[in-house]
Structure 1
Amino acid sequence: MTTDNKSMVEQALAELMETGSVDALEPLLSEDFVHHRPDATSSTKAEWLAAVQAALVPLADMRVEVRHLLADGDHVVMHSRRRLPDAGPEVAVVDIWRIDEGLVAECWEIIEPTARAAANLVWWEPAGG
């Protein structure tokens, strides 16, 4: 099951980047799919697919380097580095996918511009100190 989950996520994301369409993702998401962001907002399946599709045009030339793709039970975790087109910033991304009954039920996403990573390593220090 773990290998199947990992393969499903890997194939769907490869097709997404290759075709520039969410058509490969849509049938793999449960009807009650929820996408979570670090700011505690979330989106439904339809909202998330529309946002991904809208981002694909300006990001068509984005380079994606998958650093880690791990699966454990019903979760698949992908760590990647992405370089935005036209000398845009590089970002580090962690996506966590939860699989339920063969479909992606939830996804959590964390994105950090790599140029800001050093500043984020001291988030616990008091301001100005």
Structure 2
Amino acid sequence: MSILKSLGGASVALLLAVPVVSLAQPERDVETEEANRALVTEFYDQFFNEHETEQSSRVLAQDYIQHNPEVPDGKAPFVDYFEGYFKENPNYKSEIVRSAADGDLVWLHVHSTNGDDDRGEAVVDIFRVKQGKIVEHWDVIQSVPENAANDNTMF
């Protein structure tokens, strides 16, 4: 006996109540995505490698949302946090290994180090851009180990 027969008339109503989910992707605006990627990579290089916090932070929204639990929300608190961090860590650098954009999101795969002897960390930074401003950020950070179980690099 089929499921439809066993449910009787209730099966038709049940099937009609299930929402249709479209998996179709909206048309991409590659020009805007590339502009967002350029905005984020330029900001990132100036801010995290040149430590130009005031100049480069012009692209941060005033109500910037931060998902890293160690860094506060807002443009001014973000800048203040990293100005202090760079004073304590003047050799901090972040090499962008690869980047990608999709819609209003920009992903960076980064190798951050704090001096020549530091193996550093592998970082994936995700930024949301709205109207030419960085409005939100997430990151995932993993230390680069001395030894690995495979011959692959993290970059």
Q: Is the 8 A contact 2:110 2:123 kept in 1?
A: yes
SS in 2 for 1:60: coil
Measured on the aligned residues, the alpha-carbon RMSD in Å equals 2.6
Counterpart among 70, 73, 79 of residue 43 in structure 1: 73
Tell me the residue number matched to 2:10.
none
Counterpart of 1:67 (choices 97, 102, 110) is 97
Equivalent residue, structure 2, for 1:57 = 87
Which residue of 124, 131, 135 maps to 1:101?
A: 131
Name whichever structure is richer in strand by fraction.
1
Report the alpha carbon displacement of residue 84 of structure 1 after superposing the two structures with TM: 1.7
The answer to whether the Cα contact below 8 Å between 1:21 and 1:53 also exists between their aligned partners in 2 is: no
Offset at residue 88 of structure 1 (A): 3.2
Distance 1:110 1:101 in 2: 25
Q: Deviations over 1:52-106 (max 9, x none)?
A: 1111223332343222111111111101112222623411111100001111110
Contact map agreement 1:64 1:81 (CA 8 A) in 2: yes
* Percentage of identical aligned residues: 22
Which one is further off, 66-75 or 41-50?
41-50
Report the counterpart of residue 22 of structure 2 in structure 1. none
Equivalent runs, 1:1-129 vs 2, <5 Å: 1-37=32-68, 39=69, 42-85=72-115, 87-115=117-145
Which ranges in structure 1 are unaligned for 5 or more consecutive residues? 119-129
Letter in 1 for 2:96: V
Any idea what the Cα deviations from partners look like across 1:25-63, whole Å, max 9, x if unmatched? 3210111111111x5975222221111111122333234
CA distance in 1, matches of 2:100, 2:81: 25
Contact conserved, 1:12 with 1:24, CA < 8 A, in 2?
Answer: no
Considering only CA atoms, is the larger Rg found in Structure 1 or Structure 2?
Answer: 2
How many residues in Structure 1 have an aligned counterpart in Structure 2? 118
Structure 1 runs of 4+ aligned residues shifted over 4 Å read: 39-42
Alpha-carbon separation, structure 2, partners of 1:108 and 1:35 = 7
TM-score (norm. length: structure 2): 0.65
